[in-house]
A and B are shown apart, each in its own frame.
Chain A
Amino acid sequence: MAFGSRVVFDSLSCGFPRGKISVILGGSGSGKSTILRLVGGLVQPRSGVILVEGQDIVGLAERRMYEVRRKLGMMFQGGALLDSLTVFDNLAFPLREHTRLTETEIAAEVQNRLDAVGMSNVGDLLPGQLSGGMLKRAALARAIIRKPSILLCDEPFSGLDPASTKRIERLLVRMNRDSSVTMLVVSHHIPSTMRMADRVLLLLPQGAVEGQPQELRAHADPRVTAFMNEDPDLDAESLEDPDEPPAGKAVRARGGMR
């Protein structure tokens, strides 16, 4: 997998179990978000196979990919809500596009998701008027509007204060418990990873390591343990990783145009 002349992955092989929360860890530029984008079909690998619920999506025509994405929901790091629409309209948008539900039914669905993320009253606000935590929750609400079976979360905790981080974490965990949604979470927040992950994929320059969080913490390789114990086990790391550019722009340069 490469962007132009920059190789991001070379023979990466990993799996994410159904119904479980898998967290992808790694330094900036390690390609964590790229994995999500590969699963979402937003970028194409040079070679290889990507199986989404048993279906290989590599080389799939965009129109077919749209069908595959019905099972997927993606929570973008910057929210990626349409900034000219209200939160309500943002959530209602896919329903209005793809379903024949009446406005009342749509309103009910939207309200249901907003309630689920604890944002019952912000339907009329524009994305620009939301705080960081509220934006993430709105993005999450939109990601689950079509009841996906796989949820992709790109840095759901970045830029949040500790309280909001905890709130999002709890939301994700509860969602997984209630509906067995398979979750792929890209993060660099070790403490929440330790708490919520069923499996961890750690991307290091030397290679990738998979396993349960406990296993990685006590790993034989010192580089793995160093990473896992890197961040102090405090709540006060609201600081973003200074190397990670906002919304991971540099990593996404020249990604495949779809």
Chain B
Amino acid sequence: MRRAIEDLGFLALRFADDLGKLALFTLRILAARFTPPLRCGAFVTELFKLGVLSLIIICVSGMAVGMVLGLQGYNTLVRFGAEQSLGAVVGLSLIRELGPVLTALLATGRAGSATAAEIGSMVATEQLDGLRMMSINPVHLVVTPKASAMIAVMPLLSALFIVCGLFGGYAVGVGLMGLDGGTYMSSLQSAVDFHDDVLGSLLKALIFGVLIGLISTYRGYTSAPTSEGVSAATTSTVVIGSVSVLIFDYFITALWGV
């Protein structure tokens, strides 16, 4: 019994310890962000790796989700005779929730794990130590561009996901179910308000980007220098990143709606 309590206490302390370390790590990234050299080249390269390379999965998934929404939405609304509002239903669902959240989950799996693995293997092969020995700050060179790129990329990917989803919903509702195209669009436009919906959506995407950027780089940076450690870093990035996104989603939604 006493053992169990001790273990629990140890876990709690370790959690707090990890959180503190993550906070310190975040400060280091911030400090590096504002110290020259700015490393724009690395930043652009990371934009490519995290953004451009995620385009296909984001757009395809977005369209698929939009199509499902269109289908499910239509089938449900038609029971109440409200199928004219399909545009609004698809649009609001995508913009307020599914766009930022699903994009974040996909990005965690693709870009987040890639980042964690890359940094982790640099730790394992002593490349980061090599940088230190050359008097180069590895956080500055490797971590900050990756984290910054993640933050910058998320709103863009989220918007693209949503647009593809809207198109998917249109394709199903108008093309398949026979709704009038104009009705779809006007229902969409009258229901969506920039300040209440779109702005909140972009804010969520940005915050998720911060979360994923921090978690993936931190896990990679602190991974054990073995191949097992790299794999652990990658999986924990996906798990912790995904759960954090979902939890933060609730809090942001609750606070933004006020």
Q: Using CB atoms and an 8 Å cutoff, list the residues of chain A in contact with chain B.
A: 37, 40-42, 62, 65-67, 69-70, 72-74, 76-78, 80-83, 93-94, 97-98, 142, 146, 247, 249, 252-254, 257-258
Contacts of B125 in A (CB 8 A): 78, 80, 83, 247
In the bound assembly, the distance between CA atoms of A69 and B131 in angstroms comes to 11
Pick the contact of B135: A78, A98, A258 (CB < 8 A).
A98
A-B contact pairs, 16 of them (CB 8 A): A42-B129, A65-B132, A67-B135, A69-B135, A74-B130, A76-B130, A80-B129, A81-B127, A82-B127, A82-B131, A83-B127, A94-B135, A97-B136, A146-B134, A247-B125, A249-B225
In the bound assembly, the distance between CA atoms of A76 and B129 in angstroms comes to 9
Pick the contact of B134: A42, A94, A247, A249 (CB < 8 A).
A94
Pick the contact of A70: B130, B135, B224 (CB < 8 A).
B135
Contacts of A41 in B (CB 8 A): 132
Minimal beta-carbon separation of A156 from chain B (angstroms): 14
Q: How many residues of chain B are within 8 Å of chain A by beta carbon?
A: 17
What string of 1s and 0s marks CB contacts (under 8 Å) between B114-129 and chain A? Answer: 0000000000111101
In the bound assembly, the distance between CA atoms of A67 and B124 in angstroms comes to 25
Instruction: Tell me, yes or no, whether B226 is within 8 Å of chain A by CB.
Output: yes
Instruction: Tell me, yes or no, whether B222 is within 8 Å of chain A by CB.
Output: yes
Pick the contact of A73: B129, B133, B225 (CB < 8 A).
B133
Closest 4 CB pairs of A and B: A80-B130, A66-B135, A80-B126, A94-B134
In the bound assembly, the distance between CA atoms of A42 and B123 in angstroms comes to 13
Contacts of A146 in B (CB 8 A): 134
Minimal beta-carbon separation of A151 from chain B (angstroms): 11
What string of 1s and 0s marks CB contacts (under 8 Å) between B197-223 and chain A? Answer: 000000000000000000000000010
Minimal beta-carbon separation of B140 from chain A (angstroms): 10
Q: Using CB atoms and an 8 Å cutoff, list the residues of chain B in contact with chain A.
A: 124-127, 129-137, 222, 224-226
Given contacts A83-B125, A247-B125, contact A42 B132 (CB under 8 A): yes
Contacting pair B133 A72 (CB below 8 A): yes
Contacting pair B225 A76 (CB below 8 A): no
Contacting pair B225 A252 (CB below 8 A): yes
Minimal beta-carbon separation of B44 from chain A (angstroms): 14
- CB-nearest residue of chain B to A41: B132
- CB-nearest residue of chain B to A63: B137
Minimal beta-carbon separation of B245 from chain A (angstroms): 26
